[in-house]
Every structure is written in structure tokens, then in C-alpha cells.
Amino acid sequence: MLFGVLALLILCAFLWNYKGQLKIADITDKYIFITGCDSGFGNLAARTFDKKGFRVIAACLTESGSTALKAETSERLHTVLLDVTDPENVKKTAQWVKNHVGEKGLWGLINNAGVLGVLAPTDWLTVADYREPIEVNLFGLIDVTLNMLPLLKKARGRIVNVSSIGGRLAFGGGGYTPSKYGVEGFNDCLRRDMKVFGIHVSCIEPGFFKTELSDPIKATEKKLAIWKHLSPDIKEQYGEGYIEKSLDKLKSTTTWVNLDLSLVVECMDHALTSLFPKTRYAAGKDAKTFWIPLSHMPAVLQDFLLLKEKVELANPKAV
């Protein structure tokens, strides 16, 4: 009896693995549109999918990013300049893509553009500090998706939304986490609404990766700029050495940082080319072994583990 159950489990595992390896037949006639291609995940994805034979349309924020990407890729790849927070720019870009892809439609949309914004204690911030990451990471993603949907319906294609472990577990104050929680909610609604049209929607949840987005020096500089304008009361509560101690804490967690950006691009690849793409992908050792499992735990355990990593305040009673 026990042997039979074990054999069945092994067979199920084999079939599950085999199912995940089945790929779509032809990619050379398929168009994909990727946002945020100046650097990081988007840049590597554009170069990778171009080499694989996809017809890549890479959206860059800057002319320099566009020029550098074109120098490293084939003539198949086209770039467009896109600010996802500019509705008119998004609309014109969608029209250009429509004219470019014609009757084939759009096989893949990878919503990758994102910014970190300010990461700082909540009581340091104003609503303006929340606005930029929410505008880019959430409203920009939604606007691009809504404008591209008719082309995706035509191709019965795929949508890949790059979220974050910050969309599963709040690890710091600022607009980044709320924006990613919003992406998760939009992703789930979109997935259910688009199923009837044959469009599969996937969400990628990367852990901490070494990209321009996660540069600890830049994050600290932003924190310092806010510190200078804080009230004397808040400065007394946190103490003059708070930012330096925070940076030391950040440096001590470098073992968590993933250096291999291809882990995220491999998730994108599977979501675009598998006959049976996953609903969610966790990317990075920290996401798989710590953040995602912790997101399923009771709030009391989450708070205990995350608060252990917080810097102790100098005088929280100075109110």
C-alpha cells in the first residue's frame, strides 16, 4: 500500500515536471512588448528574447537607454520611448504598436517598468513621497495593460506583471509596497477577466536583486534628504545615528541579495513560452525560502521576525 502511494506521488511529480517543459511551437512570428528596458530585468529580457527569435518591442524611458539596447541587439528588435506615467504617451505608443504588429496582434506584454521611491519610516513621509512609485508601478502598469489589451486579445497572448515580494509582505515604509500590493490585486482581477479570451496572466515576485532599483547608497541618500527636513521631535525620537545604523543593517543583509538577474528572465520566458504557464513565479533564493513562506505565516510571526531587523530608536517616548 505504501509503495503504491509512493509510486503514484513519483508519477505525479514526473507528469507535473513534464507538463511544465512543454513549449509553444513557433516564436519567430510572435511580437512581445516589454516596459522598463533601460536597465535591469527589462534590459536583460529584451536582449534574451531577441536572441531567442521573438519580435521584441522594447520600451525605454531614455534615449541613451534605447541607443545602448539597439547596439546590442538584432535588427528585429525595435525600441520606443515611453513614460508609463504619461497617458498620452502610452496611448500613442499603443497605436504605434498596433500599426507595427498588424493582424498578428501582440503575443506578450511584460509590465516590468518600476521605481523604488523613498524607503523610510512612515512618520517621516508625506503623501508626495508615496505618489511616484504608485504612479509608475501601479497606474502606469494598468494604463499600459488597458491600452494593449485589444492586441493581446487578437493573439490570445500572455501578460506578465512583475510585482515583488513587497507585494506579499510589507518590509518598509514608502510607496513601493502599497504599489506592489496594488499590482497583485490588479493582476488577480485581470487574470480572471481575461481567461475567457484565452489570455493567460502571470505574476512574477522577485526577491532582492542587485539592480539600480535596489542600490543601498541611493536609498540612503534619499533618506538623508528627508531627514534634513524632519521636525526636531522626530529627530529626537529616532536619534542622530539612525540612518547610519540603518545602512549598517542593510549591508549586513547582502547575503540575501541575488546577483543573477536571469532568474527573473527565466520566469518571464516560461510565462511566455510554456503551454502551461504558472499563475505565480517566485524568483530568487530569498523569495523562495523566506519571503513567500513568511507571507503565509501569522501576522504575529511576521512582525516578530521583521521587527528584529529594525534599528532601535533613541527615544520613542519623546512625543
Write the DSSP symbol of residue 122: G
Question: In angstroms, rounded to a whole number, what is the distance separating the alpha carbons of residues 285 and 177?
Answer: 20
Task: Give catalytic residue positions.
Answer: 176
Residue type, 306: L
Enter the DSSP assignment of 211. Answer: S
* Contact between residue 190 and residue 163 where contact means Cβ atoms under 8 Å apart: no
Query: How open is the CA angle 180-184-186, to the nearest 5 degrees?
Result: 110
Helix (H, G, I), strand (E, B) or coil at 109: strand
* Residue type, position 268, single letter: M
Are 45 and 34 in contact, with CB atoms under 8 Å apart? Answer: yes
Q: Positive or negative CA dihedral for 97, 100, 102, 104?
A: negative
DSSP string, 27-76: -TT-EEEES--SSHHHHHHHHHHHHHT-EEEEEESSHHHHHHHHHTS-TT
DSSP at 311: P
Q: Give the chain's end-to-end CA distance (angstroms, integer).
A: 67
Give the Cα separation of 182 and 179 in Å (integer): 5
Instruction: In whole angstroms, give the CA distance from residue 199 to residue 188.
Output: 13
